[in-house]
Amino acid sequence: MAQKNYSFWSLLQQGFKRQEGWDQAWRSPEPKASYDVIIVGAGGHGLATAYYLAKEHGIKNIAVLEKGYLGGGNTARNTTIVRSNYLWDEAAMLYEHSLKLWEGLSQEINFNVMFSQRGVFNLGHTLQDMRDIERRVNANLLNDIDAQVLTAAEVKERIPMIDASPNARYPIMGASFQPRGGVARHDAVAWGFARAASNLGVDIIEQCEVTGMHIEGGRIRGLETTRGTIRAERVGCVAAGHSSTLAKMAGIRLPLESHPLQAFVSESLKPVLHTVVMSNAVHGYLSQSDKGELVIGAGIDSYLSYAQRGSPHVIEHTAAAIIELFPMFSRVRMNRQWGGIVDVSPDACPIISKTKVKGLYFNCGWGTGGFKATPGSGNVFAHTIARDRPHPLNEAFALDRFHSGHLIDEHGAAGVAH
Amino acid sequence: MLKFHCPHCNEVREEEEFSYAGEAFIARPAAPDACRDDEWGDYLFMRKNSKGWHWEQWLHAAACRKVVAVKRHTFTHEIGGCWTLAEGKRIYLEEQA
């Protein structure tokens, strides 16, 4: 049952009909007794995985199970930043693959994800910051990723309201700049992938929590859920903060710790900031949404937690960082705050991997930086599940790197606030 | 805001005085030179990451600089108790048994 395309004509037609004739964006079917592939977790990554499985690998009988509601987790609990300026080749290639998919995504899934390539600045405040920035920019250029080193004067010229004076407590010495980076509308990414996957026959089943796994002879046979037993020979888990909980059902230990990550948005302002600004040293990042809100984020709370809130002193720290960069925002009122649960791995890189249980795959450990990877993550994970072997781009992100020692230490390398 | 009772200082203090130091009582392989790579990797990197009661270490960084063993619920943030490492380990092992 193909749906009507969103187009200029359909928008115009609906304009005359009070917008009342739209179809439901995705179907809500009852779960079947068995599927070829089940994806656990209907966030951006899970839905993208289902979409690419159906589209590129011709698998028809797919379900996505979600314990809450679609896009109710980290997909809608982040600061929507998209970039690919990572240092190590493995990470840079994975995120760049994703960025390329972002560039055609609205067209491909016929859903406006409001991807806006307004550029991303990573500020440097110390000599060492600037050396790291130069190294990372050069590494990016060698990987054909757009990147520039800017001086403090150039930063000030491009972001006029930033405090670039030498008298600041942490003076800005320069920045790296990725012009193709930017932001996207996070809810739209989940809704768009859900609609596109549903159109290809994927069953999206909300309010369906996985409570157990059926494993026989080292092979996955199906899942126990709050809506009954569902059989499947292949299961992909994409549950972010709850990955360890799922892995435990299969007797697998993961190198993850789940932490709260908070963000907040201000009241709507006139356009004041046309780009994305991140600073590792003062530890904050912000952009302005198309609605005019300042979208502000910082680092994780230090301790393990599954509660989707965080400590107040982390908010204070974040606000201090933003006011350090933009003193003019000190009187801006904040509208709301939220917390997500991020699954942090020891090397700050994701795990996209087969497991010791045949037919059971995990895509987790994205930590604080999963949103930008949504289409790329789904794309390579679909390949891993469909072919039972990793895509060349996620080969290095296997679980066994924590036994072999081949870590991809992006923690310090990405120049991001962790 | 979490509040911990430091058994060394014998005072209840706010979390900002402490720094989180991860899961408590991870057993080091008895013979590191003889163990397999997966055993060593498990010791170094794999974690329980429990949703529920969790044993962890906090360093009382801004005061006595000693390590405190804490039993905390990772969803409700209820604190089940704070002990010195030695006392905590005894209770932890009793629970495991």
Q: Evaluate if residue A417 carries a pLDDT over 60.
A: no
CA distance A196 to chain B (A): 34
Q: What is the reported pLDDT for A230? A: 98
Instruction: Specify the pLDDT at position A128.
Output: 93
* Average pLDDT, integer, range A41-46: 97
- Per-residue model confidence (pLDDT) at position A308: 85
C-alpha–C-alpha distance, residues A73 and A26, integer Å: 18
Q: What would the mean pLDDT of A25-50 be, rounded to a whole number?
A: 97
B-chain residues near A346 (CB < 8 A): 44-45
Residue A339: name the closest of A264, A273, A252, A231 by CA.
A264
**pLDDT > 60? residue A412:** yes
The residue in chain B having the minimum alpha-carbon distance to the alpha carbon of residue A341 is: B75
pLDDT for A415 equals 59
The mean pLDDT of A239-258, rounded to a whole number, is 96
Whether the CB of A304 is below 8 Å from some CB of chain B: the reply is yes
Phi, psi of A289 (to 5 degrees): -75, 170
Tokens standing for A89? 């080749």
For A244, name the nearest residue in chain B, comparing CA atoms only. Answer: B49
pLDDT confidence of residue A23: 87
Q: Which of B35, B51, B53, B58 to mutate against chain A (most A CBs within 10 Å)?
A: B51
pLDDT for residue A239 is more than 80? yes
| pLDDT given for residue A298 in this prediction | 83
Q: Over 90: is that where the pLDDT of A414 sits?
A: no
pLDDT, averaged across chain A: 95
With bands split at pLDDT 50, 70 and 90, how would you rate the model's confidence at A320?
A: very high
User: In the predicted model, what is the mean pLDDT of residues B43-72?
Assistant: 97
The answer to whether A262 contacts chain B (CB < 8 Å) is no
Q: Check whether A2 has a pLDDT greater than 70.
A: no
Write down the pLDDT at residue A1.
47
User: Which residue is closest to B16 within chain A, CA to CA?
Assistant: A313
Q: How far apart are CA B55 and CA B36, in angstroms?
A: 26
CA distances (Å), A246 to each of A252, A253, A288, B8, in order?
9, 10, 36, 38
What is the structure's pLDDT at A299? 87
pLDDT digits (tens, 9 = 90+) for B1-56: 899 999 999 999 999 999 999 999 999 999 999 999 999 999 999 999 999 999 99
Mean pLDDT over A140-167 rounds to 96
Test A313 with B16 for CB contact under 8 angstroms: yes
Q: How many residues does chain B have?
A: 97
Using a CB–CB cutoff of 8 Å, tell me whether B11 touches chain A. Answer: no
Q: How confident is the model over A266-302, as pLDDT tens digits?
A: 999 999 999 999 998 888 999 999 999 999 998 899 9
CA distance A81 to A285: 9
ipTM: 0.95
Q: Return the number of CB contacts < 8 Å for A and B.
A: 71
Distance from CA of A245 to the nearest CA of B (A): 7
CA–CA dist A276, A286 (Å, integer): 6
Q: Is A307 on the interface with B (CB under 8 A)?
A: yes
- pLDDT beyond 60 at A418: no
Tokens of A215: 């494993």
